[in-house]
């Protein structure tokens, strides 16, 4: 099978702590989506009395998108055809002391207090007012969060599912300022779910829109931290973004493909958890909307002619290409019948001086031949669908008659041409071998 440059790739990074989804499908503007397990709260974190109730075992996820070099992020939004949705089966944690709705509003000098560093919020790259958010695996400048950096020594859980521990790398990159310019929000207000005094487990909207002057972040490789979400439940999301490509053209990258406008491009990676399926287009089970491979690719595609009426019928074909089918005598769609069907003169040539009876047809193995006429001998051939001679015998006549029986039970199921060649005539017919 030819090697195929797959549009979608899926990988597991940093043990179980980071899911990375490659998404080169979105007209080249959205390069990948990453969901990182940032932290898992332990009993000490849950015991703090400041900042609200944080359940032990709550997981803090960080959601990143990476856009192409030279591209600019312009908005996140929901619409009638593409709702914006972030939900959990349990409540989201919103720190009641220092929490914010937008990550760039988190005060940098508050990260050492209670559990404000685990607050749930949305964003456009900024994790605080003085730091960009980056993957912990990409953070090489140490940490200002957790353990000795925390006034109460919190955020030190060392569970393996966290990957890199917060006191080692906090996923923060210093910046002079992180707030987007000319920020404007309309429609459903996310503070109804992600707010300092709010309690909720679902933000879903067809009207929400947050936009700003087009921006990129060269320091992070144009990777934007778009949400930090802490919950003990199962997280799901469907996100939509407006991105300007390097030519200044606007591309709307959306999480569903049921209805797509001219300026919208579908990316399966903007839905979480991923919808998996067969991602190899050389298999019948291929699912163009699948974002990860689940091992369901079973039946490799075999292209060719699967029309039983064609002289080049191939029973192994599972993807019929009508333009490859040659139906004799005069419907070979411009193809060379001598190349496609070598040795086959016609389906039933009438230039014979003998009668023929071949039965049963279809047959499951035994084939009876009865020939009568002015015969001394006949050469018999059984020809496969690729023109190859499979059986060749000389049949001798007795009193101008030939009675014989062929056992073709060893042949694969499918159509074959039986060709009888006498000194002055040729006769062809089609038989079907079928169990």
Q: What is the pLDDT of residues 6-26, one digit of tens each?
A: 222 222 233 336 665 554 444
Q: What is the mean pLDDT of residues 246-272?
A: 94
First vs last C-alpha separation in the chain: 30
Sequence-ordered list of residues with C-beta below 8 angstroms from that of 410, at least 6 positions apart, any chain: none
pLDDT tens per residue across span 263-291? 999 999 999 998 888 988 889 998 877 88
Domain ranges of the chain: 8-293, 302-341, 354-433
Q: What is the mean pLDDT of residues 257-261?
A: 92
Given a contact cutoff of 8 angstroms between Cβ atoms, the answer to whether 253 and 243 are in contact is yes
Global pTM reads 0.70
Furthest-apart CA pair in the chain: how many Å? Answer: 112
pLDDT tens per residue across span 183-215? 999 999 999 999 998 999 999 999 999 999 999
Q: Which fold has domain 354-433?
A: Immunoglobulin-like (2.60.40)
Helical H runs in 32-160? 43-47
pLDDT higher at 170 or 432: 170
Given a contact cutoff of 8 angstroms between Cβ atoms, the answer to whether 73 and 245 are in contact is no
Sequence-ordered list of residues with C-beta below 8 angstroms from that of 370, at least 6 positions apart, any chain: 356, 357, 358, 401, 402, 403
Given a contact cutoff of 8 angstroms between Cβ atoms, the answer to whether 279 and 8 are in contact is yes
The pLDDT > 90 percentage for the chain reads: 59
- In this prediction, residue 19 carries a pLDDT of 61
**What does the block give as tokens for 149?**
């950096």
Band (59; pLDDT cuts 50, 70, 90): very high
- In this prediction, residue 347 carries a pLDDT of 40
- In this prediction, residue 17 carries a pLDDT of 60
User: What is the C-alpha separation between 157 and 38, in angstroms, rounded?
Assistant: 11
- In this prediction, residue 141 carries a pLDDT of 93
**What does the block give as tokens for 339?**
């190349």
Average pLDDT over the chain, rounded to an integer:
87
- In this prediction, residue 192 carries a pLDDT of 95
Q: What is the mean pLDDT of residues 401-418?
A: 87
């Amino acid at each position: 099978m030819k090697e195929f440059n797959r549009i979608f790739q899926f990988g597991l990074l940093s043990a179980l702590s980071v899911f990375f989804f490659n998404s080169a499908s979105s007209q080249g503007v959205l390069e990948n989506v990453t969901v990182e397990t940032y932290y898992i709260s332990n009993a000490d974190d849950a015991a703090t009395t400041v900042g609200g109730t944080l359940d032990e075992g709550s997981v803090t996820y960080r959601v990143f998108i990476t856009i192409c070099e030279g591209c600019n992020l312009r908005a996140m939004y929901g619409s009638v055809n593409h709702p914006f949705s972030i939900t959990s089966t349990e409540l989201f944690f919103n720190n009641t002391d220092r929490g914010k709705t937008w990550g760039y509003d988190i005060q940098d000098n508050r990260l050492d207090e209670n559990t404000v560093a685990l607050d749930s919020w949305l964003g456009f790259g900024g994790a605080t007012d003085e730091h960009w958010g980056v993957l912990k695996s990409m953070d090489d400048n140490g940490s200002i969060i957790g353990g000795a950096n925390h006034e109460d020594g919190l955020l030190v859980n060392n569970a393996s599912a966290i990957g890199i521990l917060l006191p080692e790398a906090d996923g923060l990159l210093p910046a002079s300022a992180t707030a987007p310019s000319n920020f404007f929000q309309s429609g459903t207000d996310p503070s109804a779910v992600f707010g300092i005094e709010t309690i909720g487990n679902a933000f879903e909207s067809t009207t929400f829109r947050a936009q700003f002057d087009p921006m990129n972040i060269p320091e992070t490789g144009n990777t934007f931290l778009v949400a930090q979400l802490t919950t003990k439940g199962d997280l799901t999301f469907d996100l939509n973004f407006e991105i300007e490509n390097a030519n200044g053209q606007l591309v709307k990258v959306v999480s569903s493909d049921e209805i797509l406008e001219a300026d919208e491009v579908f990316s399966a990676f903007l839905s979480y958890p991923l919808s998996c399926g067969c991602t190899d287009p050389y298999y019948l089970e291929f699912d163009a909307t699948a974002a990860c491979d689940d091992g369901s690719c079973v039946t490799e595609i075999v292209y060719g002619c699967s029309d039983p009426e064609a002289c080049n019928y191939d029973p192994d074909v599972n993807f019929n290409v009508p333009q490859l089918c040659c139906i004799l005598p005069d419907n070979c769609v411009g193809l060379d019948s001598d190349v496609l069907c070598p040795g086959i003169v016609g389906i039933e040539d009438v230039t014979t001086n003998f009668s023929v009876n071949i039965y049963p047809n279809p047959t499951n193995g035994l084939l009876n031949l009865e020939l009568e006429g002015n015969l001394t001998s006949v050469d018999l051939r059984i020809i496969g669908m690729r023109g190859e001679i499979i059986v060749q015998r000389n049949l001798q006549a007795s009193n101008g008659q030939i009675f014989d029986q062929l056992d073709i039970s060893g042949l694969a199921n499918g159509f074959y041409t039986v060709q009888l060649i006498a000194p002055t005539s040729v006769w062809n017919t089609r038989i079907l071998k079928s169990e």
